[in-house]
Amino acid sequence: AEDGVVLDDGVTGRLGPEHYLMTTTSSGAATVWEWIENWLQTEHPDWRVHVTPVTDAYASINIAGPKSRELLARLAGGVDLSNEPFPYMSVRVGTVAGVDGCFMWRIGFTGELSYEIHVPAAYGLYVWETLMETGAGLGVKPFGVEAQRVLRLEKGHFIVGQDTDALTQGYGAGISWAIKLDKEDFIGKPELAWQSERDDYPRLVGLQPLDRFIVPPEASQIVEGRKNIAGRITSSRFSPTLNRSICLGFVAPHLAKPGTNVTVQLPDGRRITARVMEQHAHFDPEGARARG
């Protein structure tokens, strides 16, 4: 946003020379639409742009895992699903189970080989049932939000509003890779340019408790000395993949260097030690599974 704060999280696909499809978080959809319309109508009324919300028009299904391509290939038409013509972070339009006008995105929150398919909403149940029936021999199973939360935490995907707050600017969230200060202008540039020159803001970091079987409750405080608060745990789960607890959290800048040990105060008063990790991702930091 204009204050450099991370507003929402989504992927935008370019469907044509002047046609884009923007996805947002579920709860942020209306906010992002209003924000875009506000900028269009007040700052750029001369721009010839129409924004049409289509949130309700599509049912979205995520197919994730090593066999996701194989399953989708049994139902997709009009799209070559192999890696080279359809790489990670791209979108295609085709048919799924005979339904026209479906968007297939090679994206995902789980870190696995993954497709998010958006089908015209009235066909949502039909496509879901067809996927389950077709994938039965591949061992397909539904997975819910909790499983997704663990997978995304293993991959270090932060959740806006949980791992960030209303003051978290881009560099603090660790997304310097997405900030292009060499662009002529963009919303939030002055604030982010200023932030890039400073070093006084909290950092979102990956954390692992030294005791692998302690899972600090989210919002546990990170402390220094007897009573100084130096951060907090924002996300915390036990990872079955790594057989240990994993976290994201905010720490004061002087504690953000990888390898630093920080003290976490649990709600029952105990204090444990956690180590700051190299990056947010605890598993497969190169994204090999998603890009395969």
Partner 1 sequence: MAEFLPTARSPISPAPPVTVEHGWEVSARRGSADLLITDCTLLAKVHVRAAENGTVARALGAGFGRAARDERGALIVGSGPGEWLLISPPGTAPEVAGRVEAAPEDGLVSVVDVTHGRALMRISGAKTAELLAKVCGIDLSEDVTPNGAAFRSSVAKVVADVVRDDEDGVRSYLLHCPRSYGQYLFDALLDAGDEFGIEIDGFIAPVAHGKE
Query: Which residues contact partner 1 (rule: CB under 8 A)?
Result: 48-50, 52, 54-58, 74-75, 77, 97-99, 101, 120-127, 130
What the block records as the tokens of 91 is 């979108």
Query: Looking at beta carbons only, is 132 or 166 nearer to partner 1?
Result: 132
User: Of 56, 61, 65, whose CA–CA distance to 131 is shortest?
Assistant: 61
* Closest separation in Å from C-beta 96 to partner 1: 9
CA end-to-end span of the chain, whole Å?
33
* Closest separation in Å from C-beta 276 to partner 1: 42
* Closest separation in Å from C-beta 126 to partner 1: 5
Query: Looking at beta carbons only, is 40 or 214 nearer to partner 1?
Result: 40
Query: Looking at beta carbons only, is 20 or 194 nearer to partner 1?
Result: 20
Q: Which uninterrupted H or E stretch holds 274?
A: strand 271-276
* Closest separation in Å from C-beta 27 to partner 1: 13
Q: Which uninterrupted H or E stretch holds 40?
A: helix 29-42
> Would the CA dihedral through 183, 26, 62, 96 be positive or negative?
negative
* Closest separation in Å from C-beta 186 to partner 1: 23
Query: Looking at beta carbons only, is 50 or 227 nearer to partner 1?
Result: 50
Residue 271 · residue 238 · CB < 8 Å: no
Query: Looking at beta carbons only, is 126 or 201 nearer to partner 1?
Result: 126
Task: State residue 27 phi and psi, 5-degree precision.
Answer: -75, -15
Q: What angle do CA 76, 80, 81 make, to 5 degrees?
A: 75
Residue 38 · residue 32 · CB < 8 Å: no
